Amino acid sequence: MFKALKEINIRPEPFQFYTADDLWTDEYTSRQMLEYHLNESIDISSRNKNFIERSVEWIVAHFGVDHKTEIIDFGCGPGLYTTRLAEHGAKVTGIDFSKSSIQYAKKAAEEKGLDITYVVENYLHFNTTDQFDLITMIMCDFCALSPAQRKVMFSKFLSCLKPGGSILLDVYSLNSFNQKEESASYELNQLYGFWSPDDYYGFVNTFKYEEEKVILDKYTIVEKSRKRIVYNWLQYYSKDSLIKEFEENGLKVETLFSDVAGKAFTPESTEIAIVATKD
């Protein structure tokens, strides 16, 4: 028992383990994630309905989205943005490796008579020769990637972006990082049965990496017949560190906002939305 508890509380190196595939492709957990996505009143897997609608209206206005605009959304989930952007006439592609989310998105598109291309794949492995006017990665998905994985995405951004095209994504700021504290807890059926339909004990360790500006929520899920560990990493940025990373990877930063609905950037922002183009 002591050895097991010691293992549960071990602090890994930043981004040492990658378990996103397990989280998003597990049949039960992915259905749970879909329910969170579709809950219009909370900001957990997706932002609330009112914010999404404001965000899409701002995106359409800011980037001049019309029937000639080609958009690709990395991490599209159940199509909460892609559906609305297609309704504004854009030609839209969505990438996500949650089969449940893509099935929902395809059904929604079919019901609305929308021609949206959806791909079930980890976007780190996605390749295409197509190019787009606008690339989006929303809900701070970029923060969940390691430095090496972010370089992979930068390479994809550059190859997918048309001349004169734009990238829009958001990240968590250092203000948000500074509000986080380390903690450890356990609970029977933690998160109201999110992890399994059967009884389990959920151990949650939150680790804070001051030098790297990274937070890890480490979930150890102990069921009767198995044990799983899910690592939820998040990178946090200052304005300067975000701009530097984009510029070092061949992208020119156009402007910053406090969110993807176009709110003016302030030093107090807990998120940073960035618009960039090819350098």
Number of helices (H) and strands (E), helices first, in the chain? 10, 11
Report residue 45's pLDDT band, with 50, 70 and 90 as the boundaries. Answer: very low
Where in the chain are the domains? 2-11+176-234, 28-171+236-278
Architecture of domain 28-171+236-278: 3-Layer(aba) Sandwich (3.40)
Mean pLDDT of 28-44: 67
Per-residue model confidence as pLDDT tens digits over 105-140: 999 999 999 999 999 999 999 999 999 999 999 999
The answer to whether 225 touches 211, Cβ cutoff 8 Å, is no
Instruction: Identify which of 48, 58, 49, 122 has the alpha carbon closest to the alpha carbon of residue 85.
Output: 58
Q: List, for residues 233-269, the tens digit of each pLDDT value.
A: 999 999 999 999 999 999 999 999 999 999 999 999 9
Residues 211-219, mean pLDDT to the nearest whole number: 97
**Quick one: pLDDT at residue 43?**
47
For the record, the structure tokens of 126 come out as 């996605």
Which 3 state secondary structure label does DSSP give 249?
Answer: coil
From 51-55, 66-70, 96-100, 152-156, the region with the lowest mean pLDDT: 96-100
pLDDT band at 52 (very low <50, low <70, confident <90, very high): very high
Distance CA 113, CA 84 (A): 12
115 with 86: CB under 8 angstroms? Answer: yes
Q: Which is more confidently placed, 154 or 29? A: 154
Q: Report the C-alpha gap between 250 and 155 in whole angstroms.
A: 9
272's CB contacts (< 8 A; 6+ apart) are 170, 171, 172, 173, 237, 239, 242, 256, 257, 258, 265
Instruction: Output the pTM of the full model.
Output: 0.93
Mean pLDDT of the chain: 93
**Residue-level pLDDT at 47:** 66
